[in-house]
Structure 1
Amino acid sequence: MRVLALIFSLIAAPVVAHEFWIEPTAYQVSADTNLEANIVNGQEFTGAKLAYLPQRFVNFVLFAGEASARVEGRPGDMPALQQAPVADGLNIAAYQATNSVVSYETWEEFQTFVTHKDFGDVRSLHDARGLPDNGFTEVYSRHAKTLIGVGDSQGADRRVGLETEIVALTNPYTDTLDGGFSVQVYYRNDLRPDTQVEVFEKAPDSRVTISLYRTDADGIATFPVKPGYSYMVDAVVLREPSERLAAQSGAVWETLWANLTFGVPE
């Protein structure tokens, strides 16, 4: 297990980023029960619940094994996901948000984000492209998944087609978790070795602890989990936007956020 020494609680952590995730009302349900989950935007595993609004997402899909179904709803629905499971077993909900843009008034603001997400020497790349120190923008997209156990909860997570994606190598509802929980991080069809992974652990009393890990040569990170807790895993890609996207958005940088949530049974 490779973990950074930096582990900090919600009280001590600086506010340097906003996450976006899918949070089920229950991580395990019976086979005859609808799935329900909120789309949430916030920080440190707490935030505002968002309604089902088709203009805000590119795809919103459920998977179970080889079967899949689009998430259908009415504009304004909350929770955003209210639908029958695809099948008995492990169901995966995946959501790709439409692009959004954020502005940085100073380089220092952007550097805080760069440092927190461990992107390396972005300043040299920024300068080499002749970009301004002040008043520039970033375009970003969210690629979120959650794991919901239905009935016996049997099954495995898999790639579902997100451009950047976190795949669980462990089924939290059926596997032995003594050796920890493992995830594998992808960007397009490539693994992401030596990449920072941020893990948010929410206790039953809603207290959140945040830990930083790094993937190994196979893009895998492993971390301990606790019964009765829920988890959010986050990894971010930074890249130069395509000419078309830069022209559309005015942004000089692009980020793609991969997110995975799951619960651990008591």
Structure 2
Amino acid sequence: MKKAAVGLALALAATSAPAHDLWLVAYRYQVEPGGSVRILASTGMNFPASTNALDPLRIERFVMSGPAGSAERSDWIREGTLLAASIQFDLPGIHLVGLELKPHPIELTADEFREYLEHEGLAEAAALRRERGEEDRPGREVYSKHVKTLFLVGAGPETGFDRPIGLRIEIIPLQNPFLVRPGGELPVRVLFQGDPLAGVPVVLGREGLGEGNFLFRGKTDARGEVSVPV
């Protein structure tokens, strides 16, 4: 089964060409209690391939959350174009792993910024630049990246999938992702600083689609929710 990635396209979590996408990648997401998983932080534009390794100094937070609570970690190591960490899961149930990068400034030419806004579906930002007469000026922003993934350990309990782990921007599944079947839908809620975030693009990609291609583009409703086809 091809791996899937659900991601945000926000000015706060930019996915422009100079600021590549970030994913947490593992090659199994179900493990028995006491088992371990090697997890990779991959950055690039063609999921799940990584074009260059993150600077560990850019990591603001690396957190695990499971049935016994949450814990901060800092044990990433460089492996070529990746950062890697080994995680052991002792208790049965659903465990969440999250990674946040520190805010980082970027400046794009007017053409690059226009293309970025169009690609990411940020029509309101583009309209605001037009209203201000800024279309021909360089675009500047401060972006950060916030990613997480889930693991099922043993036979359950299959609760906790919707537990927020305190990321600045976070996608919360409203159904257990491990129970969603192909052809179904996964409803999610997007949070910003813990509150629902309305009107933001949400995209779905998977391995093999290639750069800039998505299976689905949607936008959150007034409750910060959108249903993503699986």
TM-score, scaled relative to structure 1 = 0.67
Question: Could you tell me which of 158, 171, 178 is aligned with 1:173?
Answer: 178
Deviation, structure 1 residue 161: 1.1
Rate the CA distance shift 1:124–1:212 in 2: closer, same or farther, 3 A.
Answer: closer
Rate the CA distance shift 1:46–1:179 in 2: closer, same or farther, 3 A.
Answer: closer
Alpha-carbon distance in 1 for matches of 2:119, 2:53: 29
Rate the CA distance shift 1:170–1:56 in 2: closer, same or farther, 3 A.
Answer: same
Q: In the alignment, which residue of structure 2 is the partner of 1:187?
A: 192
Q: In the alignment, which residue of structure 2 is the partner of 1:103?
A: 107
Alpha-carbon distance in 1 for matches of 2:185, 2:128: 37
Deviation, structure 1 residue 94: 0.5
Number of equivalent positions: 207
Deviation, structure 1 residue 40: 0.7
Residue 88 (str. 1) matches residue 92 (str. 2): yes
Is the contact made by 1:24 and 1:36 (CA closer than 8 Å) also made in structure 2?
Answer: yes
Alpha-carbon distance in 2 for matches of 1:68, 1:19: 26
Q: In the alignment, which residue of structure 2 is the partner of 1:217?
A: 222
Is the contact made by 1:72 and 1:83 (CA closer than 8 Å) also made in structure 2?
Answer: no
Question: Could you tell me which of 24, 27, 39 is aligned with 1:25?
Answer: 27
Deviation, structure 1 residue 53: 5.7
Q: After superposition, where does 1:33-72 map in structure 2 within 5 Å?
A: 33-48=35-50, 54-65=56-67, 67-72=69-74
Question: How large is the Cα RMSD of the aligned pairs?
Answer: 2.9
Paired letter, 1:81: A
Map Cα deviations across residues 11-32 of structure 1 (whole Å, 9 max, x no partner).
xxxx954311111121111112
Is the contact made by 1:71 and 1:81 (CA closer than 8 Å) also made in structure 2?
Answer: no
Q: In the alignment, which residue of structure 1 is the partner of 2:6?
A: none
Rate the CA distance shift 1:60–1:16 in 2: closer, same or farther, 3 A.
Answer: closer
Paired letter, 2:203: E
Is the contact made by 1:36 and 1:79 (CA closer than 8 Å) also made in structure 2?
Answer: no
Map Cα deviations across residues 114-172 of structure 1 (whole Å, 9 max, x no partner).
12222223245346668683444322110111111111252223211111111111222
Rate the CA distance shift 1:215–1:157 in 2: closer, same or farther, 3 A.
Answer: same
Paired letter, 1:113: Y
Rate the CA distance shift 1:69–1:51 in 2: closer, same or farther, 3 A.
Answer: farther
Alpha-carbon distance in 2 for matches of 1:190, 1:215: 13
Is the contact made by 1:215 and 1:221 (CA closer than 8 Å) also made in structure 2?
Answer: yes
Q: In the alignment, which residue of structure 1 is the partner of 2:9?
A: none
Of the structure 1 ranges 177-186 and 59-68, higher mean CA displacement relative to structure 2 is found in 177-186
Paired letter, 2:154: G
Secondary structure in structure 1 of the residue aligned to 2:78: coil
Is the contact made by 1:52 and 1:81 (CA closer than 8 Å) also made in structure 2?
Answer: no
Rate the CA distance shift 1:183–1:125 in 2: closer, same or farther, 3 A.
Answer: same
Q: In the alignment, which residue of structure 2 is the partner of 1:229?
A: none
Secondary structure in structure 1 of the residue aligned to 2:166: coil
Of the structure 1 ranges 141-150 and 82-91, higher mean CA displacement relative to structure 2 is found in 82-91
List runs of 5+ in structure 2 lacking aligned partners. 1-14
Secondary structure in structure 1 of the residue aligned to 2:115: helix
Alpha-carbon distance in 2 for matches of 1:51, 1:109: 24
Is the contact made by 2:77 and 2:85 (CA closer than 8 Å) also made in structure 1?
Answer: no
List runs of 5+ in structure 1 lacking aligned partners. 1-14, 226-266
Alpha-carbon distance in 2 for matches of 1:57, 1:65: 25
Deviation, structure 1 residue 189: 3.1
Is the contact made by 1:194 and 1:216 (CA closer than 8 Å) also made in structure 2?
Answer: yes
Alpha-carbon distance in 2 for matches of 1:45, 1:224: 18
Alpha-carbon distance in 2 for matches of 1:125, 1:224: 31
Structure 1 vs Structure 2: percent identity of aligned residues? 26
